[in-house]
Amino acid sequence: MTDSSVPKGPWATPPKAAPAPPEPTGMQIDFVGKRGALFWLALKTGFFTILTLGIYRFWMKTRLRRWYWSAMRPGGDPLEYVGDPIEKLLGFFIAVVILTFYIGIVNLLLMFVSFSVFSAASVGYIASFAGVVPLWFYARYRARRYVLGRTRWRGVRFGLERGAWGYAARALMYWAITILTLGLLWPRMTFALEKYRTDRTFFGSARLTQGGRWPMLYRATLPFVVSLLLLATAVLWMVWLDPVFAEGTPEPQDVAKTVDRMFETGRISSDLTAPARLFLIPIGLAGLLFGAIYYRWMAKRIMAQHKTARGIRFASALSGVRVSFIYVLGNFIAYLFLVIGILTLVFLALVTVGFDAVMADDLGLLGGYAGLPRWLSFGLLGLLYLGVFLLWGVLHNTFVTFPLMRHMARTTSLPQAEGLRLISQRERDAFAEAEGFAEALDLGAAI
């Protein structure tokens, strides 16, 4: 017997489907660039920069940025860099004209006042340096504003509000506070300046906000503080509690002579007490270097965890130890090549001007170089000089900048990203001098 109350046939009610799982709201960032491709791009653009006596530098930086930006892909979509090398070149010329006026006129007045009032040039030099410091901070903010204004993602522009002079004034104030407190308020300066920049940063119509409080950065200072305490303890132990030098605290020149004698003879001086303790000083200095690198990048990680926008939240899993390893190994490779290249240049220059040329030729170190005409030798030296710095820049890009940007991209994510669909486009920022001040003050070398 069947139940007639249950409808059958075409009028039957279909069973309810299970609810679909909610779509994830987070977003990962990938990095797809290859080290080999970057090496050849940096080598080629660097070569063109040398051929054009530095003019191609603006095109080189633009091409490298486009490569890096396109390699970073939030949610699978690449960033775009749309900067124009022509506006960089024109901005550099504008900045050089302004800085030439400052250096030529303002410094002349400062030196005149220094000699007239204080009868010495030192006050003028100090005042001149102090006058350049605000321009340095101003240039950094302007360079950041330009880069953000020429960066897009999914067709939407980034941007940074005006405020370069306000940033320079705050930087001067916080640096003065940090120096007066012997570095104890360094985290306050780091947080305050980053908050000033972040709170003026936009992605389309969305304004970013830097949350959190500055004391949270103190935990990033732990390796530096520990290394500083260890170094201070070691110095106190070797100088006052149990001196290494039996005759008491020596003069700096005496210490230098003792170290030179140890390297020359290969033996430790007999008038030293437990000289093995001297190795604590380079270990402590290395710890300070690691602590400084660790603090800089862990502070970025901590502050990234507190960056938000409407419906958007950032997260970072950046490793301070990994970044320190990249810095140490990458810079060791780049600077080892630079040192070897410079020593080779010095040796060949001495041979070119006639020192030890006969002995070097007898030893077979030069091949036919010593017999070349003088003008050709100087020409080869010039090419070698440019080639050394070209390859140094290529190696620095390949072994420092590349792994750093790859690590930063892959360790950054957006756990909350549903606010992206509410964002609208913003107007394009116009720049008269682009990154000109940063280039003129040698702040624009980095990507």
- The more confident residue out of 46 and 365 is 46
How far is 144 from 295, CA to CA, in rounded Å? 21
**Residues 385-396: what's their mean pLDDT?**
89
How many angstroms from the chain centroid is the CA of residue 395? 15
Cα–Cα distance list, 9 to 1, 3, 14, 17 (Å): 18, 14, 11, 19
What is the Cα–Cα distance from 285 to 296, expressed in whole angstroms? 17
The model carries a pTM of 0.81
pLDDT bracket for residue 397 (50, 70, 90): very high
Question: 353-369 pLDDT, tens per residue?
Answer: 655 544 444 444 454 45
Q: Which of 202, 209, 199 lies closest to 429, judged by CA?
A: 202
Question: Residue 373: what pLDDT?
Answer: 66
Q: How far apart are CA 432 and CA 435, in angstroms?
A: 9
Q: Is the pLDDT of residue 302 over 90?
A: yes
CA distance 275 to 272: 6
Residue 359 structure tokens: 């002995």
Do the Cβ atoms of 69 and 90 come closer than 8 Å? no
pLDDT of 272-294, one tens digit each? 777 777 788 889 999 999 999 99
More confident of the two residues 118 and 52? 52
Interatomic CA distance for residues 60 and 140, integer angstroms = 20
pLDDT at 265: 67
pLDDT-based confidence at 384, cuts 50/70/90? Answer: confident
Structure confidence at residue 445 as a pLDDT band (50, 70, 90): very low
- Could you give the residue ranges of the DSSP H alpha helices within 305-435? 320-352, 357-362, 374-396, 402-410
pLDDT number for residue 266 = 59
Reported as a single tens digit per residue, the pLDDT across 92-137 is 887 777 777 777 777 777 777 776 776 666 776 777 777 778 888 9
pLDDT at 363 (0 to 100): 44
User: What per-residue confidence (pLDDT) applies to 134?
Assistant: 87
pLDDT value for 232: 92
Q: What is the mean pLDDT of residues 180-202?
A: 96
User: What residues does each domain of the chain span?
Assistant: 25-52+310-424, 228-298
The share of the chain scoring above pLDDT 70, in percent, equals 77
pLDDT in tens, 366-382: 544 555 666 677 777 77
Model pLDDT for residues 54-101, shown as the tens digit of each residue = 889 899 999 999 999 999 999 999 999 998 888 888 888 877 777 777
| Stretch (H or E) spanning 180 | helix 164-180
The answer to which of 7-21, 35-49, 54-68, 185-199 has the lowest mean pLDDT is 7-21
Mean pLDDT, the chain, rounded, equals 82
Whether pLDDT at 17 is above 80: no
Instruction: State yes or no: pLDDT of 402 exceeds 70.
Output: yes
In the chain, the percentage of residues whose pLDDT exceeds 90 is 46
> Which residues, 6+ apart, have CB-to-CB distance to 380 below 8 Å?
348, 369, 372
CA dist list (Å): 403 to 34, 395, 409? 10, 12, 10
pLDDT at 1 over 50: no
- Summarised one tens digit per residue, pLDDT across range 205-253 is 999 999 999 999 999 999 999 999 999 998 888 878 777 776 655 666 6
